[in-house]
Amino acid sequence: MKHPNRDEWAPYVFGEAPAAEARRLEAHLESCEECATEIAGWQRSLKMLDSWAVAPRPGARNIVAPVFRWAVAAALVLAAGIALGRMTAPSAEAMRAEVEASVRTALAADLERALARSEARLAALGEENSRELLQTFSETLEAARTEDREAMVALIQEQQRVAEERLVNWRRDLETLALQTDQGLRQARFTMTQLAARDGNN
């Protein structure tokens, strides 16, 4: 029996042989125990090679895989929840009416609370503003009073100074007048004395 060349078996074993070639080799295997044994051995060896797997890099496996697993688990739980909810839910119309009423009540209560809060806030704001204005007014008034008082004191002091100055001047004038009067009297007395003496001599 003529056996095929060994290298003809390689494409056949890996499924790359053309169809006609593959049929020819298969036919030979059916009739040749020697070749069939050898090729079966090759195929067992190839199968055994699969046991040596090289893992992906640790970084990619440790980070991505758990995240993916958790995502899948979360999706499954969510889907189960939705399905359960749909199965146990009341009719859509009743649910809608109930939800609508509930939402209206809740909205009204919320609105009232919001209004009350706004009013209280405004009142508090007005009171606070008034207090501030009063405080400002008081401060301004006090400042004006102080300024007036200081101006008054300054004016009085000025008047006093002027009066004193005038008094000094008057006194000086009086003293000058008194001195001049005294001198006039002395001169008159002297003149009278001289006249008297002249009359006596005559």
Partner 1 sequence: MLRVQSHDDHSAFAQLVSRWEEPIRRLCTRMVGDAHKGEDLKQEAFARLFAKRKLYQPTARFSTFLWRIALNACYDELRRVKRRAESALDVGGAEEGLDGMGLELEDPHSEAAGNEEAELVRRALMRLPEMYRTVLVLRHYEGLKLKKIAEILEIPEGTVNSRMAEALAKLTRLLEPQFQEPKTPMPRPREALVL
User: Using CB under 8 A as the criterion, which residues of the chain lie in contact with partner 1 when the complex forms?
Assistant: 6-11, 13-14, 16, 38, 41-42, 44-57
Least Å from the CB of residue 43 to partner 1: 9
DSSP for 120-161, written as a single string = HHHHHHHHHHHHHHHHHHHHHHHHHHHHHHHHHHHHHHHHHH
Least Å from the CB of residue 82 to partner 1: 35
- For residues 1 and 32, the answer to whether their CB atoms sit within 8 Å is yes
Q: Give the whole-angstrom CA distance, residue 33 versus residue 23.
A: 17
Please, which residue, 66 or 81, has the CB nearer to partner 1?
A: 66
Residue among 65, 69, 49 at smallest CA distance from 57: 65
Least Å from the CB of residue 52 to partner 1: 4
Least Å from the CB of residue 16 to partner 1: 6
Looking at residue 7, the DSSP 8-state letter turns out to be G
Please, which residue, 52 or 200, has the CB nearer to partner 1?
A: 52
Please, which residue, 45 or 105, has the CB nearer to partner 1?
A: 45
Please, which residue, 6 or 86, has the CB nearer to partner 1?
A: 6
Which amino acid belongs to residue 42?
A: W
- For residues 4 and 17, the answer to whether their CB atoms sit within 8 Å is no
Least Å from the CB of residue 33 to partner 1: 16
Tokens of 185: 């009297």
Residue whose entry in the numeric block shows the structure tokens 């040749």 = 32
Please, which residue, 59 or 85, has the CB nearer to partner 1?
A: 59
